[in-house]
Amino acid sequence: MALLLYFVPLLFMNYASASSNCDFPAIFNFGDSNSDTGGFGAAFQPPTRPNGETFFRRPAGRFSDGRLIIDFIAEGLGLTYLHAYLDALRPNFSHGVNFATAASTILPQRNVLPLGGFSPFSLNLQYIQFTRLRNDSHFIFNHDKGGVFDFLLPKKDYYSRALYTFDIGHNDMTAALFANMSISEVGGLIPYMVGNLSATVKSVYNDGGRSFWIQNTDPSGCLPYLLVNLAVPPSQIDSAGCAIPYNNLSQLYNDKLKEAVIQLRRDLPLAAITYVDIYNVKYSLISQAHKYGFEKPLVACCGYGEDEFNYSPQAPCGGTIKANGGEVFVGSCDKPSVRVNWDGVHYTEAANKFVFDQIVNGKFSDPPVSLRMACHRKAN
C-alpha cells in the first residue's frame, strides 16, 4: 500500500507535466526599481506622494503611481504582493520575498548611497540576503515550529517550487554612462554583467531553485532622464524620439542575456528558464502609444521642466521647486491612466499593466510559455 501511494503521485506528475498550471507557492524577486516594492524605502528614503496615488492611495514603497509588473505577476499567480526583505515593519515572507531595491545594479558600484547615487544592494548582496533567509527559515522550521516566524517565512518546500524572477541590468549601464564612459566602454561591461547574473542563477539552482523568469532590460534611450541628462545629437534620435545609442546598449545587453539563458539551459538540466522580452513590448508601447490608447510617451507625468519631457533633475516627482515667486509641489499629471512615463525614470501603473498583459501568455517569452506554465522545461 505504501509503495502504491508513493508511485501514484509520480505517475501523475509525469502525465500532467506538459499541460498543467505550476502552482507556484512563492516568488523570490531580484532587481532594481522596476520591481522594488519597498526595499529602497526601508533602507534609505521612502518614496513620497504622489507615488502610489492611483492604486494604493498612499506611497507604497514603489516608484510609480501604482502597481509594478512584479505586482501583476504576484496577482496573476494568486499570491499577495511581495514584501521587501529589508522592510522590518512588514516581515511577512510567507509567499515570497523581494530583494530588489531601486538603483540596484548587477555589478557592485563604488558610487553608492548615502554618499553616492546607486544602491549598495547589488545582485551579489541580494543573493547573500536570499541565502540567509533560506538558511534561517530552514533553521526556524526545524527548531521553532509553531513559533511566530514559522508563519512569516516560506515553507521548506517552497524554495524548490517557487518562481525566481530577475529584472536587473539597466542601472549598470546608466551608472557607466553617467561616469562618462563611452558607448563602447559600457558595451565592454556587458559580458561581466551577464556573467554575474548567470552565476547567480546557477547558485540559486544549486540551492534547489528550478523555475526562473528572467526579464530583459527596457529601451533606456526612451526615458526622459537619459534624454535630458545625457542628451544626444538630433541625428541619434529615432522616429519614436528615443536615443539610439542607449537603446543599442539595451539591445546588446539583451542579446547577450538571451545567449546566456540558452547556455544556462544546457548547464542546468532540471531548470525551466523563461526569457521575457520586455524591451520590445515597451518599445511598441512608446513608439505606437496612440494605437494603444496612451498619450505623450516621452513626457513625465509627475515632473516639472521647461523642456518637452517635463523632467528636470532639480525637480523630482514629489519634491518642491521655487518657481513663480513661490514653492511649487511637483505633482502628478491629470490622467496617469493614459500615460506611459511616471516620473522621468519609471513607468506608470497603466504602462506596467499594459506590459504585463502582453507578456503573461508567453507571446514575448522564450520558450513561449505563459506565466502559469513557467515551471515546465523547454523540450530541448
CA 353, 32, 75, 368 dihedral sign is positive
- For position 8 contacting ligand NAG by CB under 6 A, the verdict is no
Nearer Cβ to ligand NAG, position 20 or 92? Answer: 92
Q: Which of 62, 67, 95, 265 binds ligand NAG (CB under 6 A)?
A: 95
- For position 280 contacting ligand NAG by CB under 6 A, the verdict is no
| Helix/strand/coil percentages in the chain, nearest 5 | 40, 10, 45
- For position 229 contacting ligand NAG by CB under 6 A, the verdict is no
Closest of 40, 28, 19 to residue 154, by C-alpha: 28
For the bound state, the minimum distance from the C-beta of residue 245 to ligand NAG, rounded and expressed in Å, comes to: 4
Active-site annotation holder among 33, 35, 64, 119? 33
- For position 182 contacting ligand NAG by CB under 6 A, the verdict is no
Segment 186-205, which members bind ligand NAG (CB under 6 A)?
192, 195-196, 199
- The residue count for binding ligand NAG (CB under 6 A) is 21
CB distance 6 to 144 below 8 Å? no
Nearer Cβ to ligand NAG, position 150 or 366? Answer: 150
- For position 228 contacting ligand NAG by CB under 6 A, the verdict is no
Residue 329 amino acid letter = F
For the beta carbon of residue 329, count every other beta carbon within 10 angstroms: 13
- For position 160 contacting ligand NAG by CB under 6 A, the verdict is no
Burial class for 58, CB neighbours closer than 10 Å (0-12, 13-18, 19+): exposed
Read off the C-alpha cell for 4: 502504491
Q: Which of 8, 128, 231, 323 binds ligand NAG (CB under 6 A)?
A: 128
Q: Which of 236, 287, 337, 370 binds ligand NAG (CB under 6 A)?
A: 236
* Angle in degrees, 0-180, between the axes of helices 69-76 and 349-359, rounded to the nearest 10: 50
Nearer Cβ to ligand NAG, position 117 or 293? Answer: 117
Read off the C-alpha cell for 242: 528615443
CA distance 102 to 32: 5
Active-site annotation holder among 95, 170, 346, 376? 346
Give residue for cell 525614470.
345
- For position 6 contacting ligand NAG by CB under 6 A, the verdict is no
Read off the C-alpha cell for 193: 554583467
237: helix, strand or coil: strand
Give residue for cell 521548506.
156
Give Cα 226 distance to the centre of its chain.
Answer: 19
Question: Would residue 343 show up in a list of annotated catalytic residues for this protein?
Answer: yes
Residue number of the CB closest to ligand NAG reads 195
Q: Which of 203, 248, 320, 361 binds ligand NAG (CB under 6 A)?
A: 248
For the bound state, the minimum distance from the C-beta of residue 337 to ligand NAG, rounded and expressed in Å, comes to: 28
Residues near ligand NAG, by CB under 6 A: 80, 92, 94-95, 107, 128, 131-132, 135, 151-152, 179-180, 192, 195-196, 199, 236, 244-245, 248
Q: Which residues are catalytic?
A: 33, 343, 346
